[in-house]
Chain A
């Protein structure tokens, strides 16, 4: 059974069809890339999965459970985390504090015990802090852990966005253009990390424009154009697919 299954999912904004009758099956443990020219509906698909937008029709099933109409925070609690295309961060907090908020779900000392600052609450808090620091180190942000998020360079900010999603301990990680604006070194590091994330058992869906990254890290690729799926398969198949090249003509190099 696939980990995530979208069946005949469609999204209309008035008369504009952003996503048309999409069928998508993502297996547990794979890295799936979602590609397509701008406006193809990729971020919309992410928003539909996380519940930020309700689909006009169709169903979304995650881990055997229908999550189609659930609210974003419930979907997050079910184990789906995402990073955003725009850099969404708590700008007035340090990098570490940003990640700690991600742990909000994982660390439950019980609201009353937390309120009274009992010793057990403090212990849970310390554990969270340690785990948050682990994630920060994994994402290469150790030096910047106590910097205000607003002061971080762009590449670090995007890495921080991914860190926060990781802090939620997700089963499925949706990464929306994680390497945009990164230099080649940072990009290569991110690719390595995505591999390691997959290695730890997390399923990843990646929206990316950087084709080298996509070809490098994906197990399978799904191609969207104007809201419809036009191709799906292994990286090698997609690379030579005429429809895909057509859709991207004048926009990207494969």
Chain B
């Protein structure tokens, strides 16, 4: 690893570790949301890699949240066990649904995703057991032994833990044979098939892995909001996830969603002074970003900023070419 990378990485790690000391509680609270969105975004990018844009992120987010909340409320189960079960149920339900959808191709998968989000939100809202449209009762705070995760700082570190696990797992996967197979599938299903890659099996594994971590993000949401409300798990929020991943940049499938999550949680916050105009301004800002920086922030960096440095003799990292290709393809589709 180059010295620049080690230095940069260390600075970042230190910043993250000492964040609670550097910012006030209000900003820290925003970070909790950023972390949640980061996990969701990373998972969206994961599935996009195999050529499947998923519209159902909010659905499994809800499954994780509701499972964790209900288990804690009705059985007094520990947060951690409830989280694992939430993940497991998300994978199981996903397996039932996607075993049917994935063999039928990208369009069917996409439509299934949309239907799932709408259906799950309805389920959460109408079934009295879940507490109706007002949401669940207030859940107990997560504990380890006698230690309670009560204040923002403690929840922040919990979030970093979840995010860290997600990033590590995804990175290991991407750099493995599975990752190579995913690259092949995402690039050309026909070619990958002819080389003996079981496209359906690899896609299914990918989607289910995403399901697990999306559910974890839901459990984390419950950890700091102490409630699960149907409104959160909407189609709009699913699209929101897709949007900020694009904003962050598809060229780096691990870093892009992180940057996007930061941008997308902090812009509305700092625009709060505009009061009722805030959503409009945010929307315009996002539209401008997508028009001016079609490859997102990282894409802009890769194409304009880094070449400038390279001309001065700096090496730097390689962009994830697979994702660049996906980005290019999506833009082409968008143009049609």
B194 within 8 A of A: yes
A93 within 8 A of B: yes
When distances are taken between beta carbons in the complex, the residues of chain A under 8 Å from B196 are 73, 76-77, 104-105, 168
Instruction: Please count how many residues in chain A sit with their CB below 8 Å of the partner chain's CB atoms.
Output: 34
A241 within 8 A of B: no
Q: A105-B196, A117-B172, A117-B175 are in contact. Are A52 and B190 (CB under 8 A)?
A: yes
B158 to chain A, nearest CB (A): 25
Chain B residues 167 to 203 lying within 8 A of chain A, measured CB to CB, are 172-173, 175-178, 180-181, 183-184, 187-188, 190-199
Residue contact A168 to B195, C-beta cutoff 8 Å:
yes
| Closest chain B residue to A105, Cβ basis | B196
When distances are taken between beta carbons in the complex, the residues of chain B under 8 Å from A111 are 176-178
A115 within 8 A of B: yes
A182 within 8 A of B: no
Residue contact A73 to B193, C-beta cutoff 8 Å:
yes
Q: A111-B177, A116-B172 are in contact. Are A76 and B190 (CB under 8 A)?
A: no
When distances are taken between beta carbons in the complex, the residues of chain B under 8 Å from A35 are none
Q: Which segment of A54-62, A83-91, A223-231, A246-254 sits at the interface? A: A83-91
B324 within 8 A of A: yes
Chain A residues 60 to 111 lying within 8 A of chain B, measured CB to CB, are 71-74, 76-77, 81-82, 84, 88-93, 100-102, 104-105, 107, 109, 111
Residue contact B194 to A81, C-beta cutoff 8 Å:
yes
When distances are taken between beta carbons in the complex, the residues of chain A under 8 Å from B325 are 91-92
Residue contact A92 to B321, C-beta cutoff 8 Å:
yes
Residue contact A90 to B172, C-beta cutoff 8 Å:
no
CA–CA, A165 to B195, complex, Å?
A: 7
When distances are taken between beta carbons in the complex, the residues of chain B under 8 Å from A114 are 176-178
B29 within 8 A of A: no
Q: Which of A91, A101, A116 contacts B195 (CB 8 A)?
A: A101
CA–CA, A117 to B172, complex, Å?
A: 8
Residue contact A100 to B180, C-beta cutoff 8 Å:
yes
B322 within 8 A of A: yes
A50 within 8 A of B: yes
When distances are taken between beta carbons in the complex, the residues of chain B under 8 Å from A76 are 193-196
CA–CA, A76 to B198, complex, Å?
A: 10
| Closest chain A residue to B188, Cβ basis | A88
Interface range, B side: 20 to 34
Residue contact B183 to A50, C-beta cutoff 8 Å:
no
When distances are taken between beta carbons in the complex, the residues of chain B under 8 Å from A148 are 321
Residue contact B194 to A50, C-beta cutoff 8 Å:
yes
CB-defined interface of B206-229 with A at 8 Å, one 1/0 digit per residue? 000000000000000000000000
Q: Which of B187, B188, B197 contacts A104 (CB 8 A)?
A: B197
When distances are taken between beta carbons in the complex, the residues of chain B under 8 Å from A92 are 187, 321-322, 324-325
| Closest chain B residue to A100, Cβ basis | B180
A20 within 8 A of B: no
A164 within 8 A of B: yes
CA–CA, A246 to B183, complex, Å?
A: 47
Residue contact B197 to A73, C-beta cutoff 8 Å:
yes
CA–CA, A33 to B164, complex, Å?
A: 56
When distances are taken between beta carbons in the complex, the residues of chain A under 8 Å from B324 are 92
Residue contact A107 to B177, C-beta cutoff 8 Å:
yes
CA–CA, A68 to B44, complex, Å?
A: 37
CA–CA, A165 to B194, complex, Å?
A: 8
When distances are taken between beta carbons in the complex, the residues of chain A under 8 Å from B184 are 90, 101, 104
Residue of B190, B193, B194, B325 with most chain A CB atoms under a 10 A cut-off: B194
| Closest chain A residue to B103, Cβ basis | A71
Q: A92-B325, A116-B172 are in contact. Are A104 and B194 (CB under 8 A)?
A: no
Residue contact A93 to B321, C-beta cutoff 8 Å:
yes
Residue contact B177 to A90, C-beta cutoff 8 Å:
no
CA–CA, A252 to B197, complex, Å?
A: 38
| Closest chain A residue to B195, Cβ basis | A102
Residue contact A104 to B181, C-beta cutoff 8 Å:
yes
Residue contact A115 to B322, C-beta cutoff 8 Å:
no
Residue contact A101 to B180, C-beta cutoff 8 Å:
yes
Residue contact A115 to B172, C-beta cutoff 8 Å:
yes
Residue contact B180 to A105, C-beta cutoff 8 Å:
no
Q: Which of B175, B183, B197, B199 contacts A93 (CB 8 A)?
A: B183
When distances are taken between beta carbons in the complex, the residues of chain B under 8 Å from A100 are 180
Residue contact B198 to A73, C-beta cutoff 8 Å:
yes
Residue of B178, B183, B187, B325 with most chain A CB atoms under a 10 A cut-off: B187
When distances are taken between beta carbons in the complex, the residues of chain A under 8 Å from B194 are 50, 52, 72-73, 76, 81-82, 84, 88, 165
15 contacts between A and B (CB under 8 A): A50-B194, A52-B193, A76-B195, A84-B194, A88-B188, A88-B190, A90-B187, A101-B184, A104-B177, A104-B181, A104-B184, A114-B178, A115-B172, A115-B173, A116-B172
Chain A to chain B: the 6 pairs with minimum beta-carbon distance, closest first: A76-B196, A105-B196, A72-B193, A92-B321, A92-B325, A114-B177
Given contacts A101-B183, A101-B192, A117-B175, 8 further A-B contacts (CB under 8 A): A50-B194, A73-B199, A76-B193, A84-B194, A92-B322, A102-B195, A109-B177, A168-B195
